[in-house]
Amino acid sequence: MGTFFHPECFCCHSCGYPITEHEFSLSGKDPYHKSCFKELTHPKCEVCHQFIPTNGAGLIEYRCHPFWSQKYCPSHEHDNTPRCCSCERLESRNATFYSLEDGRTLCLECMESAIMDTGDCQPLYHAIRDYYEGMYMRLDQQIPMLLVERQALNEAIVGEKNGHHHMPETRGLCLSEEQTVTSIQRRGHRLVGMRTQPQKLTRKCEVTAILVLYGLPRLLTGAILAHELMHGWLRLKGFRDLSPEVEEGICQVLSYMWLESEVLPGCRSSMPSTSQASSSSSSSSKKGGKSTVENRLGEFFMHQIAHDASTAYGGGFRAANAAVNSYGLRYTLDHIRQYGHFPL
């Protein structure tokens, strides 16, 4: 270092104690105990809270969630560490996730606003129908809406003759066939004693019912409802034989618009705004403020829609979003009805 110190004066720049070991670390002109320097510079896993190990090449290798920036050891992707089915974050060793009865897990932040049964979801469902009506897209039919377990949703998907579904897991479905579906009914306590009830859905119009996975946060449940209601609106208004990119794309735009109306003005999304296509926001966004946690979840759900890698949902959304931003929602829908694709 070109400088001489009394042994008791050669101190670690981090902890302030003398460095008595023969080996030490140096950053600029500042000396550190090797352990102190590692504590300062070596990344720790946010799941197991240990130093992230080096790989075979001697490099520090870790995974990082693109939205939450949660850094973790690569091994946690394969060691059965629970992942929240809503926000995708991995369970930390100092936090306990909640296990839903159909095998999914929820982090505590998502659990805060989770909607657990069909009855509790009705106000949100009506608020989103009001949102559609505020955009002059009234749904003239009373479409039943049920919250269901994963197995019941998968069975309903098999019973549908047509349709395309989001992989790896579908969270919502707009039914057009008559089926008997097992729905989640009100329980005594929101975390205990889930009760299911078979319900026969008869077809009175082009849409039989809307199904949504139970146990998801309010904003995600609402985004799914907004998407599935758009499927229902298209069928009721006579839109036929649309490609997956067009139909799923415009449904994702309505989902994104509803989320945007709930999250703004605190939204930090980098996507072009679609809010000018809407004439009103849902009434729930006008009553009181949502927590910072819920707003951040809403931003994540918007990020998921905007950066979806699939052709139908992701590519379709980006094409639909560009059309709506350029021409407005009404003109875009009229163009789809006439030509079957988005205006260029």
Between CA 224 and CA 230 the distance in angstroms is 10
The residue ranking higher by pLDDT, 292 or 285, is: 292
Q: What is the pLDDT of residue 285?
A: 42
Range of weakest confidence among 36-50, 137-151, 271-285: 271-285
Q: pLDDT tens, 14-25? A: 898 888 887 888
Q: What is the pLDDT of residue 1?
A: 52
Q: What is the pLDDT of residue 287?
A: 45
- Read off the pLDDT of each residue in 252-261 and give the average, rounded to a whole number: 97
Q: What is the pLDDT of residue 140?
A: 85
Q: What pTM was computed for the model?
A: 0.80
Q: pLDDT tens, 66-125? A: 999 999 999 999 999 999 999 999 999 988 899 998 999 999 999 999 999 999 999 999
Q: What is the pLDDT of residue 166?
A: 64
Query: Does 249 have pLDDT greater than 90?
Result: yes
Q: What is the pLDDT of residue 302?
A: 97
- Read off the pLDDT of each residue in 326-335 and give the average, rounded to a whole number: 97
Query: Does 205 have pLDDT greater than 60?
Result: no
Q: What is the DSSP string of 233-261?
A: HHHHTT--S--HHHHHHHHHHHHHHHHHH
Q: pLDDT tens, 168-199? A: 678 999 987 655 556 666 554 455 455 665 55
Q: What is the pLDDT of residue 273?
A: 45
Q: What is the pLDDT of residue 328?
A: 96
Q: pLDDT tens, 55-80? A: 888 888 999 999 999 999 999 999 99
Q: What is the pLDDT of residue 271?
A: 42
Q: What is the pLDDT of residue 266?
A: 42
Q: Cβ-count burial of 19 within 10 angstroms (0-12 exposed, 13-18 middle, 19+ buried)? A: buried
- Read off the pLDDT of each residue in 203-225 and give the average, rounded to a whole number: 88
Query: Does 201 have pLDDT greater than 60?
Result: no
Q: What is the pLDDT of residue 268?
A: 34
Structure tokens at 35: 């352990």
End-to-end CA distance of the chain: 66
Between CA 33 and CA 11 the distance in angstroms is 9
Structure tokens at 39: 């504590």
Decide if 299 contacts 267 (C-beta within 8 A).
yes
Q: pLDDT tens, 40-57? A: 878 899 999 999 998 888
Decide if 312 contacts 164 (C-beta within 8 A).
yes
The residue ranking higher by pLDDT, 270 or 144, is: 144
E-strand ranges in 66-213 read 71-72, 98-99, 105-106, 114-115, 145-148, 172-175, 179-185, 195-201, 209-213
Range of weakest confidence among 252-256, 266-270, 301-305: 266-270
Can you tell me which residue has the tokens 């929820």? Answer: 106
Q: Find residue 182's DSSP bridge partners.
A: 198
Decide if 137 contacts 239 (C-beta within 8 A).
no
Q: What is the pLDDT of residue 270?
A: 37
- Read off the pLDDT of each residue in 20-39 and give the average, rounded to a whole number: 84
Q: What is the pLDDT of residue 313?
A: 96
Query: Does 274 have pLDDT greater than 60?
Result: no
Q: What is the mean pLDDT of the chain?
A: 84
- Read off the pLDDT of each residue in 9-35 and give the average, rounded to a whole number: 85
Q: What is the pLDDT of residue 13?
A: 87
